[in-house]
A and B are shown apart, each in its own frame.
Chain A
Amino acid sequence: MTVETILASIPEFETSVGPRAVPLGMTSTRVPPRRPRAAWAAGLLALMAGGLLWGASRPAEESWQVAVDGTTYTVSVQGEMVGLEFRDGARTFVVQGGSQ
């Protein structure tokens, strides 16, 4: 079979994407939801580093939230363990580290 035949044989897939997902009826003020990009990763790294340093010196349990470029990060410290939780769209990421 040729490349053309193989590619043409890929079927048409149905999609469940519907108008509900696109904000209809708001033509004049649409601001597309943008995912934070560079600042997202920079914020993550800064908070991880800061959290680790700070957490190491603070044995008590504590948590706080910081918003960076539209993403809210929750940093928690318990003893020498540091946790970082944040959401990207519908997904939640949890990062934990430290020493016990």
Chain B
Amino acid sequence: MTESCLVPRPREDTIDQAFNELFRQQRGRVFNYCLRMVARRDTAEDLTQEVFIKALTALSHNPALADSPVVWLLTVARNQCLDHLRRQKSWRQAVVRIGRMLAGQPSESPVDQDLLDRYEGLWLLQQLNPRQRSLLVLKDCMALSYEQIAEMLGTTPGSVGVMLHRARARATRLLQRREGA
């Protein structure tokens, strides 16, 4: 059985069209979210591609997602970034680093130090744990509402407010410590 027998042509065209539009409108937003999370341009681009591959799969099952894509796409991006940051700490990465050391190859830094030196905000974000980092990126960099963030996290706007307060307090302490040093 061929592809065209499985999926009616008009539907596929519609999904591709919706995806193209989605990609054009949202890739910058997704990329900038990922870049703030991982502080490396090439990693952020890889993650952005993975987000849109997932988006395409999801769209083929539920085209209505394209109607209000921001929260949905950023939720996918958040999960991708948290997974990526978790993997960086895994023993798998340790094996790779040992392998590179044995091979005499330079170890690749997980973040772009030039970016951190140039933008204090990026440096500050990298000092926070990934969940707090994500929260501040969504609110202070991407200006999402409390309601939108609550929808992403599956919690209430009040809880988002409390978590944001803690994250900002920690960030403020980090800044003060840096200025005092």
- Using CB atoms and an 8 Å cutoff, list the residues of chain B in contact with chain A: 3, 6-7, 12, 15-16, 19-20, 23, 27-28, 31-32, 35-36, 41, 44-45, 48-50, 52-54, 56-57, 59-60, 87, 91-92, 95-96, 99-100, 102-103, 105, 119-122, 124-125, 136-137, 140-141, 168, 171-172, 175
Contact = CB atoms under 8 A, between A and B. Distances in A.
A21 B31 CA distance: 14
Contacts of B35: 13
Interface residues of A, number: 40
B105 A94 contact: yes
A35 to B, nearest CB: 9
Contact of A17 (B15, B48, B91, B95): B48
Given A32-B57, A38-B92, A41-B92, A13 B121 contact: no
A95 B36 contact: no
A26 to B, nearest CB: 8
A52 B48 CA distance: 40
Interface of A: 2-4, 6-17, 19, 21-25, 27-30, 32-33, 37-38, 40-41, 44-45, 84, 88, 93-97
Given A15-B45, A22-B53, A28-B7, 17 more contacts: A3-B124, A7-B140, A7-B141, A9-B119, A14-B28, A15-B44, A16-B45, A17-B31, A19-B20, A19-B23, A27-B12, A27-B60, A28-B12, A30-B56, A30-B57, A37-B92, A94-B103
A68 B60 CA distance: 31
Contacts of A28: 3, 6-7, 12, 60
B12 to A, nearest CB: 5
